[in-house]
Structure 1
Amino acid sequence: MNITIDSSPQDRDINVIYQGLSSYHATSFPNAQEQNLACYLRDEQGNIVGGVTGSLLYTSFYIKFLWLPETLRGLGYGRQLMTALEKTIMKQGVTHIFVDTFSNQAPNFYLKLDYIETGRLPHFPMYDVDRIYFSKAL
């Protein structure tokens, strides 16, 4: 056996690790079916101008991305997206929602929506910026 470092790993090589971990998790989480879900903000022409995406697993939902252009921030669209998402996932049996953000981005947005801070990685990804984890019981 030997250890190698690859600064440009191929997808097929990463997939070996992913598949191994997935097989291992299958014993603890039987029948796990991760379901992707997206909630979009569209303009009058139907073009996506922002939105929130994530994945549902059992009774949890993890927000992967939430984005609005600068021109649409502070106008209530973020709250509307989150409200629509929460209503939808609650109908699917979700009881908890999770998200992470950076201290220089949107922590106050989530706090205003009744999310609670559950963890923090100081100085990640750089000095004076923290990665903050939030959750909310629905």
Structure 2
Amino acid sequence: MQFDISITDTLGAEALDLIANGLDGFNLDAAGYADRRALAVLVTDPETGKVLGGLTGRTSLGMLFIDLFYLPAELRGHGLGARILATAEDEARRRGCCSGVLYTISFQAPDFYVKHGWRVFGEIPCEPAGTRRVFLSKDLSAA
């Protein structure tokens, strides 16, 4: 049997749904449940309602996955990032998660995560030269 394989950087909703639902079905068969849910903690301007930054990720099979976390420079250094992270962790616990995982880049925020109880479990060199992807996890069972 022969199939076409293609590469894209614009994944359509239909393809994304097929892959996500297929994986959920596989997880259901293997684990007895499939509980993948998106998670976002957003910072919005109270006057305009405009999203200024925040965190995105998901929860699945007892684990929090943090994918993206961004705050503009003018919102950093006032504890807002810590509040966003704690909110995501609390929601993950509410959803039954016992652990979390993420990666950041060495020039981004590994020290921020370590300060908030995350533990580095691996690093991989990447571009630009001298830069590393830093992988972290956290035990969420200890609140």
Secondary structure of 1:38's partner? strand
- For 1:51, the aligned partner's letter is G
Q: Structure 1 regions of 5+ residues with no counterpart? A: none
Give 1:34's match in structure 2, choosing from 36, 40, 62: 36
Of the three residues 72, 77, 82, the one matched with 1:79 is: 82
- Cα distance in 2 for partners of 1:22, 1:92 equals 17
- Structure 2 residue aligned with 1:128, among 127, 130, 133? 130
SS at 1:130 equivalent: strand
Contact 1:54 1:64 in 2 (8 A): yes
List gaps (5 residues or longer) in structure 2: none
Normalising by structure 2, we get a TM-score of: 0.77
Alignment partner of 1:56 is 2:59 = yes
Q: What's the Cα RMSD here?
A: 2.8
Asked whether the equivalents of residues 124 and 133 of structure 2 are also in contact (C-alpha less than 8 Å), the reply is: yes
Q: Give the alignment's TM-score, normalised by structure 1.
A: 0.80
Separation of aligned partners in 1, 2:80 and 2:17: 37
Give secondary structure in 1 for the equivalent of 2:84: helix
CA distance in structure 1 between the aligned counterparts of 2:130 and 2:61, rounded to whole angstroms: 35
Aligned residues: 137
Deviations 1:13-39 (A, max 9, x none): 899988887776665444323100111
